[in-house]
Amino acid sequence: MSSSQALDPQEAARNALAQSRSRQLLDAAARLMEREGSEAVSMQALATEAGVSVGLIYRYFGNKDDVLLAVITDVLDAFSAKVPIAVAEAGEDPVRKLAAAFTAYCHVIDEHRHAAVLTYRESKSLDEEGRARIKQLEVETSQPLRDALHDGVAAGRLTAADPDLVAYNLLLLAHAWALKHWYFERTMTLERYIQAQLGLTLRGVISPKSRRSYADLLEP
C-alpha cells in the first residue's frame, strides 16, 4: 500500500537502508564465494566479509537460505539488467539478437561463476517456495532468447521445431561455463567458448537460405 507512492520519509529511509544493506551483503557473499568457494559461505564468514555482525544479517534476511536465494536472484537480476540492453544494441536482425543475448548471458555468468553454481545445489528452502521463484525468474530472464528465436522462426531465418528447447539449451550452455569451468578453462577462453557454442547451436537451427548471411557466426 505504502510502497508505490506517497511514502513517508521514515519508511523511505528504512527502505534505502535495507537496500544498501542487501547490496553490501550480497557483494560480500560474491567476494567470499569467489575467494573461498561457494561452500565457505557461513553466516559468520559472511558477516565478517561484509563488516557487519551476524545478528544484522537476520534483520534483513530470514535465514541462510534466504541469503542464498537472494544471491541467486541477484544473478538473475543481472540478466534482466544486461541482456535486454545487449539485445537492443544488436539491431533488428533476430539472429544477431539471439547471438547478442547468448553472449550477454555468458558474460554475466562468467562474472558470477560461483553464484551461478548455487542454483544447482539443493538446500532446504530451495525445494519449497524458493524453487518456484527461481523457476519463474529463470523462465522470465530467458525470455529474450525465446523472443529472438520466435522472431527468427517467424522471419524464416530459423527453423526450429521446439524453439523453447533451443532457448533453454542456450541457457544451459551459459551455465555450463560455470558448472564445468574446470573442464573448459583448460582449452578455451570465454570468447572462444561463446563463439563455438553459438556456432554449433545456430548450425542446428538456421534455415538453409540464411546460412550465407550469418557465415561469421557459423564459421569458427
Partner DNA sequence: GATGAATGAGGGTTCATTCAT
Partner DNA sequence: AATGAATGAACCCTCATTCAT
- Rounded to whole angstroms, the Cα distance separating 208 from 95 reads 14
Task: Show the 3-state SS of 162-216.
Answer: CHHHHHHHHHHHHHHHHHCHHHHCCCCCHHHHHHHHHHHHHHHHECHHHCHHHHH
Q: Which does 137 bind (CB under 5 to 8 A by kind): a second copy, DNA, none?
A: none
127 binds a second copy (CB under 8 A): yes
123 binds DNA (CB under 7 A): no
Q: Which does 6 bind (CB under 5 to 8 A by kind): DNA, a second copy, none?
A: none
9 binds DNA (CB under 7 A): no
Site for DNA in 17-36 (CB under 7 A): 17-18, 21
Contact (CB, 8 A) for 106 and 170:
no
Length of the chain: 220
Nearer to DNA among residue 65 and residue 164 (C-beta): 65
Among 34, 36, 43, 133, binds DNA (CB under 7 A): 43
Give the count of residues interacting with a second copy (CB under 8 A).
39
Nearer to DNA among residue 54 and residue 132 (C-beta): 54
DSSP three-state, residue 158: strand
Site for a second copy in 84-123 (CB under 8 A): 117, 120-123
- Rounded to whole angstroms, the Cα distance separating 175 from 110 reads 9
